[in-house]
Structure 1
């Protein structure tokens, strides 16, 4: 059982970690979103020319480098890995707190199931 003092520490840690990694998580979420639809690449038939900013930012996302001639930044890759681990940790903390603060655990379980099953279903019907 999580005590009040432990829960307060968990909430504070969740806050500090979340705020620290938020800019990088938003960067990867947004750049990943336009990459999902291919907005960062020119169309082969020339019907679409990707804005330079999308191509440059996507290069950072995909190859950890700024500019086509630049070398991959290992330091940036390590920071991205730490942000990913931080996202996993803060998500786990958020789920724990959801169970603690939700009026009924069934609500949390249901929403977790929807979050797992809906994307899986959409992938399945799209294949």
Structure 2
């Protein structure tokens, strides 16, 4: 590849990386929390903190948490019937824990890598102002879009 092409690619990588870095951090953290279902009462062991519920809602639904919908009342005959589940048959499923641990490690590595990229970008004095503006835009634009 020609040197000018590589320089141009590096510049675009710099711009895109800084603009999307705040959201990459948000999604890495919220994804790690959701891996163990910490946004749910059963995963947290009680009512989860609001900030975890909020992050999960942004991650999964691209919006702030909504009020839970009221369930439709069931006909009188259906409410009294107990739900009977069929016994599970077939081969035993492998434990999801090793993959969950790997996913959390992946999220941590992505967050650390993103922070290192931001530090490296801000160390470049020639592009520091542009870098700061891109970081601010990458933070403000999603917040504005969240409430539009």
**Greater RCO, CA 8 A, separation 6+:** 2
Structure with greater Cα Rg? 2
TM-score, scaled to structure 2:
0.42
TM-score, scaled to structure 1:
0.48
